[in-house]
Amino acid sequence: MYLYAFVSFGLSLIMLLFGVFSLKKVQHQSQVLFATIPLILCIQQFCEGVLWLALPLSNLHLLQKSTVFFHLNFTQVVWPLYIPIAILFLEKHKIRKIILGILVGIGLVVSCFLAHCLCNYSVHAKIYESTILYIQPYPEQFRLLGSILYGTATIVPCFISHIKQMRVLGLMIFFSYCIGMFFYQNYLISVWCFFTIPISYSVWLILKNAALMNAKDAAVLPITI
């Protein structure tokens, strides 16, 4: 278990670096939420590292429970709302802003529903087949619709944005969901962490390109007094 914890902490460190590099590329207050995505992924992954260490020890039940709750709060409650809001703040076009506002509303519904489930159902985790299995006895009738709305809130905004490079981030998230669902369906939340590095890299790349474009635009502006 120590090896898997080490991997989780290692991934957390890599995303911390991406977060720092992303924040250094910020040139406007509207970019801060988007640039913080790797840092949130860093905290999320750090939680799973702690969980790897706590799960084998039965006397750490409280730590296990709180860490599971904290980790799932990020994966299920934060992201459906955070991603569309972060992209909305970057948007300049009025029509696209309206569409992104609708997606924020969808994300809010998903976040509220999953927060309700997280607080009212007995959620826990265990180590199974060298992976952390999160047991979430949520209502089955809402699983398919919930998954569709979750994907809509977290993927579609990337393709609505006027920033062309944002499509790369959308494709990263889309493929991570697809691979996780088809090959690791029961372990999606845990396995998805391995896709956080390319996602964090995409965030940094988008901000880097935005900074280069702004610098290029500033270079061709006429000098005025």
**CATH code of the domain in which 29 resides:** 1.20.1070
pLDDT at 197: 87
Per-residue CA distances from 137 to 101, 134, 140 (Å): 31, 10, 8
- Alpha carbons 77 and 82: distance in angstroms, whole number: 9
- 221 within a domain of the structure (yes/no): no
pLDDT in single tens digits along all 225 residues of the chain: 566 788 889 889 999 999 999 999 998 899 999 999 999 999 998 998 899 888 888 788 889 889 989 988 998 899 999 999 999 999 989 999 999 999 999 999 999 999 999 999 888 888 877 778 888 888 888 888 888 999 999 999 999 999 988 999 999 888 878 776 654 455 555 556 667 888 999 999 999 887 655 654 444 333 332
Task: Identify the pLDDT of residue 18.
Answer: 94
Residue labelled with tokens 């920033």: 163
pLDDT value at position 182?
59
Tokens representing 2 are: 């120590």
Place of tokens 């372990």: 187
Contact (CB, 8 A) for 154 and 79: yes
Q: Would you state the pLDDT for residue 220?
A: 37
In a domain, 106, yes or no: yes
What is the domain count for the chain? 1
Please tell me the distance from the alpha carbon of residue 223 to that of residue 225, in angstroms, as a whole number.
7
- Other beta carbons within 10 angstroms of residue 37's beta carbon come to 25
Residue 223 lies in a domain: no
Q: How far apart are CA 21 and CA 36, in angstroms?
A: 10
Of 197, 87, 203, 198, the closest CA to residue 153 belongs to 87
Decide if 35 is inside a domain.
Answer: yes
Q: Is residue 219 part of a domain?
A: no
pLDDT (0 to 100) of residue 225: 29
Q: For residue 183, give its domain range.
A: 2-211
